[in-house]
Structure 1
Amino acid sequence: MRIALVSDCYLPRLGGIELQVHDLAVQLIRAGHDVTVFTSTEGPPSVGVPVVRLPARAGVPLPASVERLRAELESFDLVHAHSSLLSPLAWRAARLAETAIITVHSLPGPTMPWPIAQIDRYCGDVAWTAVSGAVANVVRRALPGRAVDVLHNGVEPTAWRLAGRVSHPLTIVSTMRLSRRKRPIALLRTLAAIRELVPPEVPLRGVIVGAGPRERAVESRRRSLTPWVELPGRLTRYEIQQLYASADVYLAPAELESFGVAALEARCAGLPVVAMASGGVREFIRPGVEGFLVESDTEMARTVAALLSDTAVLHRMQQHNRHTDPVMTWERVIAQHVAAYTAQRALREGSLASAS
């Protein structure tokens, strides 16, 4: 099948949607499909995945980019548009495509206007999907009567299962874009509360991986609040895997986490995940099995402190996570995607046959 993956955000920019679209392209190509990524993110020529970079101004594709998109999409069997809260290129591609699926990767805030009904009318006859049930429920409420399936993000569990390092201080980690939405400063406050709850003779190490617009503010608060916490900045996937091999618990403080790829990777590395219950993380974290889901920062601090103090429970969760695959392995996720593509193509062909 010839598949066009369209995402406004793509490598070399780093983030959940950027990495997932790339990994999806790689996995589809390995499964024998012909895949091209279309994006408005600037960058060098890609290796391994064909990428068409379309110029944009202030995030909006230029007229020449739209014309090229229109011409190129005609040769594809299906367009899979990947939408954040603002994705002009993805929406335009869905409108231009003969057969299209849109996957929503983001959760809007409770007070954020999200004109998805207008986007739906603009895009036309498309299938709406979401990366998690949490996102799908929001889309369903915005588009009553419409079917919204879930197309999960994927992971390769074995890539994260490095040999654990026996000798290390109890280590708490988190990986995120340092932006207000991900709540890094709230995480620092939570880590400070954990330090107060854990006996002072127990050494703790904290590591927050990532970069972003809140870097300076986070560093400033770290120095005054949690000097024992490290901020190594942006790390490669390999470096993160090495870090997780010497860590004990993963924290996911975001309240609007649409899926939580980083938390899923940490879970595959054997780390219990303590996350906010409001997002998509709950689809692969069962309380007391793979980790815990909490309702507040205070509850997160108390839960982590108790977990670090209970060696038997901590080790049991680590062993379970290390040796049990989640549902979202790439093998299953690719089968899920191809089934959705095939169904949408059949539906489209049936509609055209009826019209003729």
Structure 2
Amino acid sequence: MRIALVSDCYLPRLGGIELQVHDLAVQLVRAGHAVTVFTTTDGSSAAGDVPVVRLPSLAGIPLPAAIDTLRHALDSFDVVHAHTSLFSPLSWQAARHAVAPIITMHSLPNASMPWPMAQIDRYIGPAKWTAVSGVVAERLRRSLPNGSVDVLHNGVDPDRWRQLRRPGHPLTIVSTMRLTRRKRPIALLRALARIREIVPAGTAVRAMVVGGGPQARAVAAEARGLGLMSWVDLPGRLTRFEIQQLYATADIYLAPAELESFGVAALEARCAGLPVIAMASGGVGEFIRHGVEGYLVDNDAQMAEAAAALLTSPALLSRMQDHNYTTDPAMTWGHVVARHVAAYRTQVSLSALPLASAS
């Protein structure tokens, strides 16, 4: 099939949706499909051997010339798959101008925030809505007039994350995120301080909070203010290879975001063999079962308590690590691509119906 993937955000910008759209494109190409990515993110015309059409925009809003180019280009594709967050004007325009498009929501809005999905749905017109997790799908169902939303999970290659584990390191806590308010890095630092209080003083513990973003300075200042700099490292952004090597010397992973739509970084850590402690309110529960692959908690105090309990229970920690290291999640790329292609074929059939009825 000829597949257009449309995402306002894409590489070289780093983030969950950017990396997932790229990885999906690569996996679809490997499966024999012809894929082109359309985006308003500046950069080179290719990323990972996937053709990229970079359209002009101003402050994130696609210019009229971009819309014209997009509208005419989409006619040559069998299926258009638009990837959207809470604000994605290019993806919405693509869905509006495509025949039988698929739209995947990658964000989980705050339940108290007005979310005009019904208006966006009317603007786009007929489309198949999907979501990256059941949590996001359920929120979408309550907002859309027909309430029909399927799940198209993000994907992972477990083998890339299963590095040979290296012993001989102090107990190590890791977390990888973009340093924004939504990801709650300040709350994470306060949970780390509480963990250090609970774990016996004679037990060596270190932590790594990986990532960059607009809250980087505030995070560094908070870490200094809490007196964490002697055992908490803030290395900034790391490459995937560097993160994989870090996970090989780590023990548990913390995911403090309360509005985590899916949690790709947590899924990668789980594949590396790390028990994951995450907020139960987000989509991490798609691949973490409480007490099996990690723990799902309701607040920061519970996160700190669960982490401290795991770090001071060597047998339980080892058992969870072994389980995660040797057990594939359901979201391997083989399964994820198969579900995407099945959804695409359904949309291709729908787009052909008017032609079939006219003949």
Flag whether TM exceeds 0.5 (same fold).
yes
Q: Secondary structure at the match of 2:163?
A: coil
Deviations 1:62-93 (A, max 9, x none): 01111110111110001000000000000000
Q: For residues 110 and 293 of structure 2, what CA distance do their matches in structure 1 show?
A: 27
Question: What CA distance in whole angstroms lies between the structure 2 residues aligned with 1:175 and 1:303?
Answer: 19
Quote the residue 2:290 is aligned against. 287
Deviation, 1:114, is 1.4
Residue type at the aligned position of 1:28: L
The answer on whether the counterparts of 1:103 and 1:130 sit within 8 Å (CA) in structure 2 is yes
Residue aligning to 1:20: 20
Contact 1:276-1:293 at 8 Å conserved across structures: yes
Aligned position for 1:201: 202
Q: Match for residue 300 of structure 2?
A: 297
* Corresponding residue of 2:262: 259
1:207-218 to 2 correspondences below 5 Å: 207-218=208-219
C-alpha displacement of 1:350: 2.5
Q: What CA distance in whole angstroms lies between the structure 2 residues aligned with 1:45 and 1:149? A: 32
CA deviation after TM superposition for structure 1 residue 349, in Å: 2.0
Q: Residue in 1 aligned with 2:314?
A: 311
Q: Which residue of 1 aligns with 2:173?
A: 172
Amino acid at match of 2:166: R
Q: Is the 8 A contact 2:258 2:281 kept in 1?
A: yes
1:198-253, Cα deviation, whole Å (9 max, x unpaired): 00000110000000000000000111212221000000000000000000000000
Map 1:1-356 → 2, pairs under 5 A: 1-47=1-47, 48-225=49-226, 226-227=228-229, 228-354=231-357
Give the gaps of 5 or more residues in structure 1. Answer: none
Greater alpha carbon shift after TM alignment, 44-53 vs 273-282? 44-53
* Inter-partner Cα distance in structure 2 for 1:307 and 1:242: 22
Which letter maps to 2:9? C
Distance 1:302 1:339 in 2: 43
Q: Is the 8 A contact 1:211 1:234 kept in 2?
A: yes
**Conserved 8 A contact 1:77-1:99:** no
Residue 45 of structure 2 contacts residue 54 of structure 2 at CA under 8 Å; is this kept in 1?
no
Deviations 1:282-338 (A, max 9, x none): 010001110000001000000000000100110000000000000000000000000
Identical-pair percentage: 69
Displacement, 1:344? 1.4
Larger mean CA deviation between 340-349 and 17-26 belongs to: 340-349
Alpha carbons of 1:355 and 1:138: their partners in 2 closer, same or farther (altered >3 Å)?
farther
The whole-number CA distance in structure 1 between the counterparts of 2:135 and 2:84 is 15
C-alpha contact (below 8 Å) 2:84/2:105 kept by paired residues = yes
For structure 2, list consecutive stretches of 5 or more residues without a partner in the other structure: none
CA positional deviation for 1:144: 4.0
Query: Matches of 2:6 and 2:224 in 1, distance apart?
Result: 41
Out of 40-49 and 290-299, give the one that drifted further: 40-49
Q: TM-score, normalised by structure 1?
A: 0.98
- The SS at the match of 1:50 is strand
* Letter of the structure 1 residue corresponding to residue 319 of structure 2: R
Shift of 1:348: 2.6
Work out the CA distance in 2 between the residues paired with 1:78 and 1:45.
21
Deviation of residue 109 (structure 1)?
1.2
Normalised TM-score (structure 2) = 0.98
The CA deviation string for residues 170-212 of structure 1, in whole angstroms up to 9 with x for no partner, is: 0000000000000000000000000000000001100000000
Paired residues of 2:278 and 2:295 also in contact (CA < 8 A): yes
Q: Is contact 2:118-2:145 (8 Å) kept?
A: no
Query: How far did residue 351 of structure 1 move?
Result: 4.6
Give the superposition deviation at 1:347. Answer: 2.2
Across the two proteins, how many residue pairs are aligned to each other? 356
- Give the Cα separation in 1 of the matches to 2:139 and 2:72: 33
CA distance, structure 2, for counterparts of residue 106 and residue 352 of structure 1: 35
Pair 292,355 (structure 1): closer, same or farther in 2 beyond 3 Å: farther
Give the whole-Å Cα distance in 2 for the aligned partners of 1:12 and 1:113.
31
One-letter code aligned to 1:22: H
